């Protein structure tokens, strides 16, 4: 489940994004190919508050923009902690963070933002796969601290590849099930989800195969399912396709910039905006990350992302300009 956070820290692309330079205080090996980064204010000030499920966007030295879930204690206003898995087949961001000597340097950070909020529930069932443990860790800390009823099932390729295992076990030895694939085989999701009853909130984060399997098993179940994807597979699976042959040309007015750009078939709003505002931020450019979310002042957007809820689409207050189009001859954006 994803929704637009009402947290005042949320800022949108082209609308005075809340970008700050933070100092990389330290990096720590958390597991095979997983490092954590501790980010602090260079002047020692407090950082904006956040809630479990939130993420920040890092502007890497190369200019790449990547999102990482906050996994430190939410009450810790002295710094942010994120964990990064080196992905050899990724798009370069994780390798850059692993290969660049960052401690002592500053990086630009936007956020926090939260599209994976922890809702109130009678009981929680957390299912994490691999690096998907990062947002779940903050949630487990929260529910454990307030004495809620919860259970975590955490799978990975091997125990050595699974970050934060010791910390999770300390949070709840009888509530945490560690399931390395090389020791126990594939997760028995039927048995795992059988623990869920009416009133249970199921939170799942991890690889696409895990998410799809959990979604299939939870369909029609009396539990509420909340998921977060780290890659484009989910977007490719559910995104509404754009038939460029049937899309007409439209205009986009950039209200704060004072320019009007034309968006023809086959070109994205983001491309057109960057002709005027080259620094317009984006990351996935496939409608699943939310980096390019932009406020709509006038006009009716046509949504092709996998982030906004149906209610948010109907409201038409924001859109992802990397994939969105226009239902009206002109859109007016807060850019």
* Token output for 126: 């957390």
Domains annotated on the chain, with CATH: 19-114 (2.40.30.10), 123-230 (3.40.50.80), 244-333 (3.10.20.30)
User: Does residue 144 contact residue 78 with C-beta atoms inside 8 Å?
Assistant: no
Euclidean distance between CA atoms 296 and 313, whole angstroms: 11
Q: What percent of the chain has pLDDT over 70?
A: 88
In whole numbers, what is the pLDDT of the chain averaged over residues?
85
Euclidean distance between CA atoms 138 and 110, whole angstroms: 19
pLDDT band at 60 (very low <50, low <70, confident <90, very high): confident
User: Does residue 290 contact residue 115 with C-beta atoms inside 8 Å?
Assistant: yes
Burial 120-131 (b: 16+ CB within 10 A, else e): ebebbbbbbbbb
DSSP 8-state assignment for residue 8:
T
Euclidean distance between CA atoms 200 and 192, whole angstroms: 13
Residue 297: per-residue pLDDT? 95
Question: Of 143, 146, 152, 141, whose CA–CA distance to 204 is shortest?
Answer: 152
Residue 259: per-residue pLDDT? 92
Euclidean distance between CA atoms 231 and 222, whole angstroms: 28
pLDDT band at 230 (very low <50, low <70, confident <90, very high): low
Residue 10: per-residue pLDDT? 36
Examine the pLDDT at 288 and tell me if it is beyond 90: no
User: Does residue 55 contact residue 70 with C-beta atoms inside 8 Å?
Assistant: yes
Residue 63: per-residue pLDDT? 78
Question: Of 79, 76, 91, 88, whose CA–CA distance to 36 is shortest?
Answer: 79
pLDDT band at 307 (very low <50, low <70, confident <90, very high): confident
User: Does residue 68 contact residue 132 with C-beta atoms inside 8 Å?
Assistant: no
* Token output for 138: 């903050």
Q: What percent of the chain has pLDDT over 90?
A: 62
pLDDT per residue over 153-193, tens digit each? 999 999 999 999 999 999 998 999 999 999 999 899 999 99
User: Does residue 241 contact residue 235 with C-beta atoms inside 8 Å?
Assistant: no
SS3 129: strand
Residue 232: per-residue pLDDT? 41
Examine the pLDDT at 122 and tell me if it is beyond 50: yes
Taken in order 192, 54, 97, 95, the sign of the CA dihedral is: positive
List residues bridging with 293 in a β-sheet: 320
Span 122-126, average pLDDT: 97
Residue 88: per-residue pLDDT? 65
Residue 238: per-residue pLDDT? 33
User: Does residue 284 contact residue 65 with C-beta atoms inside 8 Å?
Assistant: no
SS3 142: helix
Cβ neighbours of residue 216 closer than 8 Å, sequence gap 6 or more: none
Residue 279: per-residue pLDDT? 78
DSSP 8-state assignment for residue 50:
-
112 cis-preceded (ω within 30 degrees of 0): yes
pLDDT per residue over 79-121, tens digit each? 999 999 987 655 567 878 888 868 999 999 999 989 899 999 9
Tell which phi-psi region holds residue 106, choosing left (phi > 0), alpha (psi between -120 and 50) or beta: beta
DSSP 8-state assignment for residue 286:
S
Euclidean distance between CA atoms 22 and 106, whole angstroms: 5
Examine the pLDDT at 234 and tell me if it is beyond 50: no
Span 293-301, average pLDDT: 93
pLDDT per residue over 185-202, tens digit each? 989 999 999 888 889 999
pLDDT per residue over 13-54, tens digit each? 544 447 899 999 999 999 999 999 999 999 999 999 999 999
């Amino acid at each position: 489940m994803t929704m637009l956070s009402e947290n005042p820290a949320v800022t949108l692309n082209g609308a005075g994004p809340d970008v700050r330079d933070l100092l990389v205080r330290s990096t720590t090996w958390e597991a095979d190919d997983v490092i954590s980064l501790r980010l602090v204010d260079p002047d020692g000030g407090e950082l904006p508050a956040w809630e479990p499920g939130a993420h920040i966007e890092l502007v890497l030295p190369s200019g790449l923009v990547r999102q990482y879930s906050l996994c430190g204690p939410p009450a810790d206003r002295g710094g942010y902690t994120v964990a990064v898995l080196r992905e050899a087949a990724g798009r370069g961001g994780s390798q850059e963070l692993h290969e660049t000597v960052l401690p002592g340097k500053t990086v630009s950070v936007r956020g926090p933002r939260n599209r994976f909020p922890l809702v109130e529930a009678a009981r929680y069932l957390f299912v994490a796969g691999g690096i998907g443990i990062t947002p779940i860790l903050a949630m487990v800390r929260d529910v454990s601290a307030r004495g809620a009823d919860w259970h975590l099932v955490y799978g990975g390729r091997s125990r050595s590849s699974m970050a934060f295992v010791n910390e999770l076990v300390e949070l709840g030895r009888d509530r945490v099930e560690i399931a390395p694939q090389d020791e126990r085989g594939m997760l028995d999701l039927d048995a795992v989800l059988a623990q869920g009853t009416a009133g249970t909130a199921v939170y799942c984060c991890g690889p696409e195969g895990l998410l799809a399997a959990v979604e299939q098993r939870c369909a029609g179940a009396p539990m509420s399912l909340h998921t977060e994807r780290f890659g484009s597979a989910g977007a490719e699976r559910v995104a509404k396709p754009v038939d460029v042959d049937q899309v007409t040309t439209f205009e986009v007015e950039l209200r704060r910039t004072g320019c009007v750009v034309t968006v023809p078939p086959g070109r994205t709003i983001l491309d057109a905006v960057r002709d005027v505002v080259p620094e317009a931020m984006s990351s996935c450019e496939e409608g699943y990350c939310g980096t390019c979310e932009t406020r709509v002042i006038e006009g009716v957007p046509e949504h092709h992302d996998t982030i906004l809820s149906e209610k948010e689409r109907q409201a038409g207050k924001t859109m992802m300009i990397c994939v969105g189009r226009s239902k009206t001859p002109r859109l007016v954006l807060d850019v």
